[in-house]
Chain A
Amino acid sequence: GAGVSQSPSNKVTEKGKDVELRCDPISGHTALYWYRQRLGQGLEFLIYFQGNSAPDKSGLPSDRFSAERTGESVSTLTIQRTQQEDSAVYLCASSPRRGSWGNEQFFGPGTRLTVL
């Protein structure tokens, strides 16, 4: 079956521009996560959606970052007024309904964002 897909795969933008990144989770997965991974670094949690619950936005680094998700489908991560330090790979992951041991997260291939 189809995995998590993300678009675009690569995005080059100029400092100060807004960008929108898209994530299509695996069908039926209620949980959706966004992470940022800078070159040579670990994953940095950004935001988490679980069904119709209020999202956990505790990882968003500034008010320039926002994300939306419609129901249990597509999510978009928007970065306004991009800065060079926003350059990173943005990874989306989805997970089925939470179980007692936590659930595996299935990652998309990521969007590589470069801010010039």
Chain B
Amino acid sequence: RKEVEQDPGPFNVPEGATVAFNCTYSNSASQSFFWYRQDCRKEPKLLMSVYSSGNEDGRFTAQLNRASQYISLLIRDSKLSDSATYLCVVNVEASGGSARQLTFGSGTQLTVLP
């Protein structure tokens, strides 16, 4: 089982639609959670961190369910410019002073259609 799993999509939605992505992680010791965005042939960039209480940034809402070990990203009123691959990212702090790297999901591809 992959450490971080995402539905690869693609999700093709019309402008203005609401779309939701889910991500599951296997390590219950995971401590930090993020959504990154990667445009075609570009590097990933942080979209938002995911906090335990859930958080919102404009049209984007992120939620964390530790009991079920999943993270979600909701995009409301989608725009053409939202077309990208959305990467779910999980961080586990290792013991012994050697911090663990982020583990990236394979990403969910979103295309917003005019």
Give the interface of A toward B (CB within 8 A): 31, 33, 35, 41-43, 45, 48, 50, 53-54, 56, 59, 91, 98, 101-102, 104-105, 107-110
Residues in B whose Cβ lies below 8 Å from that of A110:
43
Contact between B43 and A91, CB atoms less than 8 A apart = yes
- Please tell me which stretch of B12-20, B66-74, B76-84, B93-101 contacts chain A, meaning at least 4 of its Cβ atoms lie within 8 angstroms of it: B93-101
Q: Which residues of B contact A108 (CB under 8 A)?
A: 43
The A-contacting residues of B in range 87-114, CB under 8 angstroms, are 87, 91, 93, 97-107
Residues of chain A within 8 A (CB-CB) of B49 are: 101, 104
Interface string of B17-40 (1 = CB under 8 A from A): 000000000000001101000000
Given A41-B106, A42-B105, A43-B104, residue A98 in contact with residue B99 (CB < 8 A):
yes
* Known contacts A105-B46, A109-B43, A53 near B87 by CB under 8 Å: no
Chain B interface size band reads 20 to 34
Q: What residues of A have a CB within 8 angstroms of the CB of B87 in the complex?
A: 42-43
Interface residues, chain B, with chain A CB atoms under 8 Å away: 31-32, 34, 42-46, 49, 87, 91, 93, 97-107
Instruction: Assess the A56–B98 pair: CB atoms within 8 A.
Output: yes
CB contact under 8 A between A107 and B101, given known A101-B32, A102-B91:
no
**Is the CB–CB distance between B32 and A50 below 8 Å?**
no
Taking CB atoms, residues of chain A closer than 8 Å to B104 are 35, 42-43, 45
Tell me, rounded to whole Å, the shortest Cβ–Cβ distance linking A49 to chain B.
Answer: 10
Across-interface contacts of B105 in A (CB, < 8 A): 42
Checking A42, A59, A104, A107 against B106 with a beta-carbon cut-off of 8 angstroms, the contacting residue is A42
Lowest 3 A-B CB distances belong to which pairs?
A: A42-B106, A102-B32, A107-B43
B44/A56 in contact, CB under 8 A: no
Q: Which residue of B lies closest to A42 (CB)?
A: B106
Offer 19 A-B interface pairs, CB within 8 angstroms, sorted by A. A41-B106, A42-B87, A42-B104, A43-B87, A45-B103, A48-B99, A50-B98, A50-B99, A53-B97, A54-B98, A56-B101, A91-B44, A101-B31, A101-B32, A102-B31, A104-B34, A104-B46, A105-B44, A107-B43
